[in-house]
Amino acid sequence: MFIDEARILVKAGDGGNGCLAFRREKYVPRGGPSGGDGGRGGDVALVASNHYNTLLHFRFNPEHKAERGRHGEGSNRTGRDGASIEAPVPVGTVVYDDATGELLHDFTRAGDRLVVAAGGRGGRGNARFATSTHQTPTEHEPGRPGEEKRLRLQLKLLADVGLVGFPNAGKSTLISRISAARPKIADYPFTTLEPHLGVVRMEDDRTFVVADIPGLIEGAHEGHGLGDRFLKHIERTKLLVHLVDVSGASGRDPVNDFHVILRELAAFQEEMAEKPMLLAASKIDVAQDEERIGALERLAEERDLPLIRISSVTGEGIDQLRYAMAERLFAAASS
């Protein structure tokens, strides 16, 4: 199950109380104060890990609490510090304070660590208050409470290329041809119910990551179809590949399909529609109306977009598209 949003409660450990005690020892008439300090409470930290690709584990474990510090004891014994805990999150997770909406951190690399709730400081024992003029202090401090927060976690996949288009435009089949990803493929709308990532390896061993985003339809930004909940997963992409079905089997107009998807991208985020884009005329092997392809070619020429004819079934144009993606990505990285 792919879960890309979660709300959790984090509670750091409270500090231990300082101790009120006086030394009592045989043959020592004036023992003096001997209350030790309380231990510090444990922290709660989030750590980015490549071993997770969903926030599902937070659905079943929404509360994360660190250990409290132990109280101080007599004979100047300091209480033990509470144990801190670490909760793993997938790389690409964005953390917000659920109460204020403040962005706390964006985990973009494995090993990134953020303390989201700091443990409380331990209270001082009465031995810490002794002075030359105040030799029998009874003052001692309670431990400070640890921080408590409610957090909203949002996962945004880290991909270089995002595949967009109507349902059944051929996105899942394409990603299965150019990478080792094996999404479910069927001939009915909304076969893909969650994003898939595929790693594409070129002949020179350079690689890039492609995300297959579940199909959009007109009105997705208003919640129609699967809505736009998966569009956040292509916010970080450097390049979009727009697949347009030219087979005629859908009964839709390819040029209108292009405009509809572009409007949905812009409605979600204006910058999304302005990302560098490649246009792919998919299912070219079963296209029977050349005029439909011609209209799409004229549109591509007007918008100065590269148009590549592809068939994921026969393999036509697949390598050309793969090289075009790599060329634009690696050229942008070197500039």
- Per the structure, the complete domain to which residue 275 belongs is given by 161-334
Question: Are 94 and 121 in a shared domain?
Answer: yes
Question: Are 13 and 103 in a shared domain?
Answer: yes
Number of domains in the chain: 2
* Rounded Cα distance, 249 and 245, in Å: 8
Under the banding of pLDDT at 50, 70 and 90, the label for residue 181 is low
Give, in degrees to the nearest 5, the angle at Cα 154 between 149 and 156.
Answer: 150
* Rounded Cα distance, 90 and 74, in Å: 45
Last residue of a domain, one of 101, 124, 155: 155
Of all residues in the chain, the percent with pLDDT exceeding 90 is 48
Question: Are 178 and 308 in a shared domain?
Answer: yes
Question: If you average pLDDT over every residue of the chain, what do you get?
Answer: 86
Last residue of a domain, one of 127, 155, 183: 155
Under the banding of pLDDT at 50, 70 and 90, the label for residue 11 is very high
Tell me the average pLDDT across 185-211: 72
Question: Are 139 and 174 in a shared domain?
Answer: no
Residue 37: pLDDT over 90: yes
Residue 219: pLDDT over 70: no
**Domain of residue 202, CATH code:** 3.40.50.300
Last residue of a domain, one of 102, 127, 155: 155
**Domain of residue 42, CATH code:** 2.70.210.12
Under the banding of pLDDT at 50, 70 and 90, the label for residue 224 is very low
Question: Are 126 and 214 in a shared domain?
Answer: no
Question: Are 113 and 213 in a shared domain?
Answer: no
Residue 192: pLDDT over 70: no
Question: Are 284 and 329 in a shared domain?
Answer: yes
- Give this prediction's pTM: 0.75
- Give the Å distances, CA to CA, from 46 to 75, 111, 151, 173: 37, 10, 11, 36
Tell me the average pLDDT across 151-159: 88
Which among 222, 216, 221, 182 has a CA at the least distance from the CA of 199? 182
Question: Are 118 and 246 in a shared domain?
Answer: no
